[in-house]
């Protein structure tokens, strides 16, 4: 991740030097991501914070001191992503069944 990209991804109130002091380094990984919108693109990798902003703009329910609020869930192993997708699919199906849809 370049410095320019980091500045775009993280809210302005988290100074880049603090992120680097915390041990962040540039790395490359192959990861698996469950794309909620069915299309693999840059938008599929937005953080929880960005997703909430986009949905309704109400970040009051997020713990802005918890780094996971600014994370994107990815999996190192394909089998783990598939297992989680199966879990989400069952949850959604169950929700629709309870709603009578």
What residue spans define the domains of the chain? 3-97
Model pLDDT, residue 80: 93
Model pLDDT, residue 40: 80
* Tokens standing for residue 52: 């909430």
Q: Are 58 and 49 in contact (CB under 8 A)?
A: no
Residue 53 burial (CB < 10 Å; 0-12/13-18/19+)?
A: middle
User: Phi and psi dihedrals of 60, rounded to 5?
Assistant: -60, -30
63: Cβ contacts below 8 Å, ≥ 6 apart: 69
| Residue-level pLDDT, tens digit, the chain, 101 residues | 566 666 666 555 567 787 788 888 888 888 888 887 778 888 888 888 888 888 888 888 888 888 888 888 889 999 999 998 888 787 665 655 555 55
């Amino acid at each position: 991740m370049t410095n320019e990209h980091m500045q775009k991804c993280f809210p302005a109130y988290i100074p880049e030097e603090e992120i680097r002091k915390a041990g962040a380094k540039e790395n490359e990984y192959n990861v698996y991501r469950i794309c909620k919108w069915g299309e693999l693109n840059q938008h599929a990798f937005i953080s929880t914070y960005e997703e909430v902003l986009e949905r309704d703009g109400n970040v009051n329910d997020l713990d802005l001191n918890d780094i996971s609020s600014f994370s994107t869930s990815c999996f190192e192993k394909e089998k783990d992503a598939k297992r989680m997708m199966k879990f989400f699919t069952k949850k959604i199906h169950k929700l629709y069944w309870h709603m009578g849809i």
